Amino acid sequence: MNSAKGFRWLAVYAVAYMIFLYAPVVLLPLFAFNDATIIAFPLKGFTSNWFTVLWETEALHGAVENSLFVGISTAVLSTILGACAARAIARYRFPAKQSLVGFIMLPLVLPEIIVAVALLVMLMQLGLPLSLWTVIGGHVLICVPFSVAILNSAFQGLDQSLEEASFDLGETRWGTFRRVIFPLVLPGVISSLLITFTISLDEFIIAFFLTGTDVTLPVYIWSQLRFPAKLPSIMALGTLLLALSVTLLVVAEWFRRRQAKRQGIDPGSTPQGYI
């Protein structure tokens, strides 16, 4: 009896929590399809007009290209760096390993604004011009910890005797990488690429501080907020970004679970299990 009552309260709590968490997000598509320039209730009617407006905005196309460029470069670079770090953590013992790993993971908890300002000051001191590349640098810094966390579980799950078995069966080092290591960590690599890409795509503060004249999508969105007439189309853009991010994260999670299954590990464990 007691537990049934407890269960009811738990359900109420869970629903309230979900509303609190996702109600604002639901507003985004709601107003994106609303046939009015003013963002306010009651809703006026359905339109997909705002998406057409988006499509016809030239400046937006540049921002999308920039974001893709930054996102893909960030994903590739941080995944490569993350893979090297994860491999080293999984395979080798070296002095001060724990503290080194801690330093790699530190950007996860540092306030982004601090990182951004620090990077900006440093770039100024070095006299480097701001560009998309400086944004990529900043993004790699904050993405590597995620990449390390994801790939670390992939490499930890890779039994060293598998490599030895391959070598023992006549395969070369390169052949062992191609036929055993790569296929086994591939889902983790894809998952890392997708997640770091998503993080970079959505990131605002570092992009805002470190970019020159080329803007990424979030920075573009911020610049458009000054014009109330543009708000509905920004809502439409937000909706698209939201859909894309969610899709990418779901696909990434799917790959991560597949990774775990391949290596015969319980897929319920979190990728950040290491941290």
Partner 1 sequence: MSDKPIIDLRAVTKKFGSVEALRSIDATIREGEFFSLLGPSGCGKTTLLRMIAGFDSPTTGTIAIDGEPMAGVPANLRPTNMVFQSYAIFPHLSVADNVGYGLKRKKLTKAEIAAEVEKALAMVDLVGYGNRAAHELSGGQRQRVALARALVMRPKVILLDEPLSALDKKLREQMQVELRQLQKQIGITFILVTHDQEEALIMSDRIAVMFEGQIAQIDSPEGLYRRPASKRVASFIGVMNFLTASARPSEGGLLVKIPALGQIKLDRSAMPKGFDASDVKTVGVRPEMLTILFERTDTAEQEVKGKVLDTSYYGDMTYYTVELPGPDEPVTISMRNTAGRSVLPAGSEVRVGWGSDSLVVFE
Q: Which one, 184 or 201, has the nearer CB to partner 1?
A: 184
**Which residue's CB is nearer to partner 1, number 30 or number 180?**
180
Least distance (Å) between residue 75 CB and partner 1: 24
Residue nearer to partner 1 on the CB measure, 56 or 164: 164
The residue type of 240 is L
Buried b (16+ CB within 10 A) or exposed e, 44-70: eeeeeebbebbeeeeebeebbebbebb
Q: Which is nearer to partner 1, 35 or 164 (CB)?
A: 164
Contact footprint for partner 1 (CB under 8 A): 159, 161-162, 164-172, 175, 179-180, 183-184, 262-264
19-31 burial, b at 16+ Cβ within 10 Å, e below that, comes to eeeeeeeeebbeb
Provide the minimum distance between the beta carbon of 166 and partner 1 in the complex, in angstroms, as a whole number: 7
Distances, alpha carbon 255 to alpha carbons 44, 145, 154, in Å: 41, 18, 11
What token pair was written down for 108?
């996860």
Residue 188 beta carbon to partner 1: minimum distance, rounded to whole angstroms: 13
Rounded least distance, CB 263 to partner 1, Å: 6
